[in-house]
């Protein structure tokens, strides 16, 4: 067992996917250390009310960003891995689709903010955070880097922008700046990140001249992606709707207290996402090569996702009561309890993200849609019931229950996916154990 483990670690270090994951992990580590430190300082500086207004704008923008995103990330990565010579056609078509929907969605968001939002700070936050809608077309470059296991370029671009803007936020805190200055930094960060991504793509001797529109490909992508659009929207509802309902039902201050915990959770959510992005090309290649190898890779992904999520959840539960009151200050004392409860959703979220890679490879996007809708509907109903009673703590509990139902229970309820549900349960309970011999029972569509 010892020598087998040592050999596995040696092979992992030599694999391109592992190196790619290392870059992505470094990205998230920088964001976790710097983002949490600066973000929590911003929250403490602004106080729950102004921080709640800022978080509200970000929450609404995150709900709407799925429209231009079109749920295309995994599908476009798959197309780029299968046929890299067609990258110009795939990227150009993706760019055009996202650009049109991004402009239309942002225009609607601006109209809604100016007509329906009385708080000027929240209105400004909505307008500036909504610039992420216009960034979506350019994130096709991210998908190219991911498909080629070259995420270091993406990491450098994102972290350079993030580092510069973090320094600005610290300067604003030291100068006692109002919330409007911090909202303005959102615009700078979006613009700078996009500019650096484009520069990295061009620096790699890639140009945009071969990015071309293909209406036939556009129709095929939309046919495949529409269940994922709805599923992604439902996933974002599970993550963000609690802050919107809190703002509406309880008020800005409670939203700020809860958003501090939610901000930390968003960083932790990224760990299974980058695992899936790094291992997805290998899964696609293994499926074409060997059913047994494919099964082993899928199950290994489940184990890695579950193990990392359990570690993050345990760390949150143990450290939150000690660290949060000291970092945020007395105004955010209740954030610790909310974060400890929210951490219970991490293993279910991680397994749901890992399962999505399998479902996309098998052409079962509609099941992914159905399970995510179950979680979204349950999340909204539970939030509407729990938030008036327990505020942010009720929202945290609703999040855990909805992710449990959507990501772990629904596969067990449908016979064609019951086997994959068993794999998820095994990974959740026994993520450290070696995998049994592959039988390739689930590789058939």
SS3 labels along 96-145 = HHHHHHHHHHHHHHHHHHHHHCCCHHHHHHHHHHCCHHHHHHHHHHHHHH
Number of domain units in the chain:
1
Is residue 65 assigned to a domain?
yes
What's the confidence (pLDDT) of residue 400? Answer: 93
Is residue 266 assigned to a domain?
yes
What's the confidence (pLDDT) of residue 151? Answer: 66
Query: Which residues 6+ apart lie within 8 Å of 329 measured at CB?
Result: 44
In 3-state terms, what secondary structure has residue 68? helix
Report the C-alpha gap between 294 and 282 in whole angstroms.
9
> By C-alpha distance, which of 393, 313, 406, 392 is closest to 352?
406
Q: How many residues does the chain have?
A: 445
What's the confidence (pLDDT) of residue 344? Answer: 93
> By C-alpha distance, which of 80, 15, 75, 35 is closest to 304?
15
What's the confidence (pLDDT) of residue 247? Answer: 80
Residue with tokens 């949490």: 36
Q: Which pair of structure tokens corresponds to residue 161? A: 């922008």
Is residue 443 assigned to a domain?
no
What's the confidence (pLDDT) of residue 192? Answer: 92
For residue 35, the 8-state DSSP code is: I
Is residue 381 assigned to a domain?
yes
Query: Which residues 6+ apart lie within 8 Å of 122 measured at CB?
Result: 53, 56, 57, 252
Question: Which ranges of the chain have pLDDT less than 50?
Answer: 1-9, 11-14, 440-445
Is residue 294 assigned to a domain?
yes
Is residue 438 assigned to a domain?
no
Report the C-alpha gap between 9 and 240 in whole angstroms.
37
Report the C-alpha gap between 87 and 70 in whole angstroms.
18
Helix axis angle, 140-147 relative to 179-203, nearest 10°?
A: 50
What's the confidence (pLDDT) of residue 140? Answer: 84
What's the confidence (pLDDT) of residue 339? Answer: 92
Residue 308 near residue 350 (C-beta atoms within 8 A): yes
Residue 128 near residue 183 (C-beta atoms within 8 A): yes
Is residue 231 assigned to a domain?
yes
Q: Which pair of structure tokens corresponds to residue 438? A: 């592959």
Is residue 445 assigned to a domain?
no
Cα dihedral 49→50→55→56 (10° resolution): 70
- φ, ψ dihedrals at 149, nearest 5°: 55, 45
Q: What is the residue range of 137's domain?
A: 2-429
What's the confidence (pLDDT) of residue 169? Answer: 93
């Amino acid at each position: 067992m010892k020598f087998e483990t040592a050999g596995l670690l040696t092979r992992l270090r030599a694999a391109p996917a592992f190196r790619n994951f290392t870059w992505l992990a470094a990205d998230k580590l920088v964001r976790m250390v710097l983002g949490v430190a600066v973000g929590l300082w911003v929250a403490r500086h602004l106080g729950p009310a102004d921080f709640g207004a800022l978080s509200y704008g970000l929450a609404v923008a995150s709900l709407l960003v799925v429209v231009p995103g079109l749920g295309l990330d995994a599908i476009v990565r798959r197309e780029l891995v299968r046929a890299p010579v067609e990258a110009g056609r795939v990227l150009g078509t993706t760019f055009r689709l996202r650009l049109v929907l991004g402009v239309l969605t942002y225009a609607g968001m601006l109209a809604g903010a100016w007509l329906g939002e009385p708080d000027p700070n929240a209105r400004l936050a909505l307008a500036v955070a909504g610039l992420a809608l216009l960034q979506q077309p350019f994130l096709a470059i991210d998908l190219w880097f991911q498909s080629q296991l070259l995420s270091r370029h993406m990491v450098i671009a994102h972290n350079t922008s993030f580092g510069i803007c973090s320094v600005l936020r610290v300067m604003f805190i030291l100068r006692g700046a109002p919330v409007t200055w911090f909202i303005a930094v959102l615009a700078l960060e979006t613009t700078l990140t996009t500019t650096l991504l484009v520069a990295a793509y061009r620096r790699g001797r890639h140009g945009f001249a071969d990015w071309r529109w293909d209406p036939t490909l556009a129709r095929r992508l939309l046919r495949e992606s529409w269940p994922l659009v709805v599923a992604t929207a439902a996933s974002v509802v599970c993550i963000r709707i609690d802050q919107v309902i809190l703002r509406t039902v309880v008020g800005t201050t409670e939203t700020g207290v809860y958003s501090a915990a939610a901000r930390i959770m968003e960083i932790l959510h990224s760990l299974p996402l980058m695992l899936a992005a790094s291992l997805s090309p290998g899964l696609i290649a293994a499926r074409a090569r060997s059913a047994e190898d494919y099964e082993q890779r899928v199950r290994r992904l489940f184990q890695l996702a579950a193990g990392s999520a359990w570690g993050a959840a345990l760390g949150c539960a143990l450290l939150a009561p000690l660290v949060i009151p000291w970092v945020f200050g007395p105004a955010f004392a209740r954030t610790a309890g909310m974060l400890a409860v929210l951490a219970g959703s991490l293993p279910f979220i991680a397994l749901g993200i890992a399962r999505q890679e399998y479902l996309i490879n098998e052409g079962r996007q509609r099941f992914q849609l159905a399970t995510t809708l179950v979680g979204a509907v349950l999340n909204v109903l539970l939030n509407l019931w729990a938030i008036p009673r327990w505020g942010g703590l009720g929202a945290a509990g609703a999040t855990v229950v909805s992710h449990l139902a959507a990501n772990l229970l629904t596969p067990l309820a449908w016979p064609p996916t019951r086997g994959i549900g068993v794999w998820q349960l095994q990974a959740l309970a026994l993520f450290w154990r070696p995998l049994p011999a592959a039988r390739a029972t689930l590789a058939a569509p």
